[in-house]
Chain A
Amino acid sequence: NAGVTQTPKFRILKIGQSMTLQCTQDMNHNYMYWYRQDPGMGLKLIYYSVGAGITDKGEVPNGYNVSRSTTEDFPLRLELAAPSQTSVYFCASLLNTEAFFGQGTRLTVV
């Protein structure tokens, strides 16, 4: 049982480049989330989805986009990378009230 799988684990982007952070879960969970974690700060919600075809903005959505075409996949897209997007990104899915996290993606924008 793989749980929540995120790729890549590390990435360095140049300013203005774009990339997609992949997130897949095999637990058939409806709810999925993207959080970012900055040093000294808590997990901040970027986007979330309550099921396939439904997405909504969280606390810090600017500069990001998501899609949820299937229950399993919830990719996060950065269109024009900026240094402010340097962070560690976590994808999570929810069973009842418990969140299951991916291993995280450490992104540096230079």
Chain B
Amino acid sequence: ILNVEQSPQSLHVQEGDSTNFTCSFPSSNFYALHWYRWETAKSPEALFVMTLNGDEKKKGRISATLNTKEGYSYLYIKGSQPEDSATYLCALGSSGGSYIPTFGRGTSLIVHP
């Protein structure tokens, strides 16, 4: 069982603040890392997939980076808006054998107007 850690567990910010979360994972046998956005009463939806060390992805005000050598990924939100409120999950996929995404516990973000 792989250990995928996310921090912080929850975060409250004011509208307009920029924020970031961390996903830590074992670097051995790395294959891919996904970030998912999970809104209340909905199902998780993929934001980014990253596979290469140094990868950076961006979608609007949200971006992510990946360091496979030290085993971490950052998700950044610039100028948070109330509609960004959600739980952000990271999921690690490893090479070798069946592909089983291992999820972190998520970071719950609440953006206050």
A→B interface (CB under 8 Å): 4, 31, 33, 35, 40-43, 45, 48, 50, 56, 58-59, 90, 92, 94, 96-99, 101-104
Contacts and interface: CB of A to CB of B under 8 A. Distances in A.
B98 A97 contact: no
Contacts of B89: 42-43
A35 B38 CA distance: 15
B42 A97 contact: no
**Most central of B9, B34, B101, B102 by chain A CB within 10 Å:** B101
Contacts, number: 55
A87 B96 CA distance: 30
Interface of B: 1, 4, 9, 31-32, 34, 36, 42-46, 49, 51, 89, 91, 93, 98-106
Give chain A's interface secondary structure class.
Answer: strand
B9 to A, nearest CB: 8
Given A31-B99, A59-B1, A97 B31 contact: yes
Contact of B105 (A33, A42, A90, A103): A42
A102 B98 contact: no
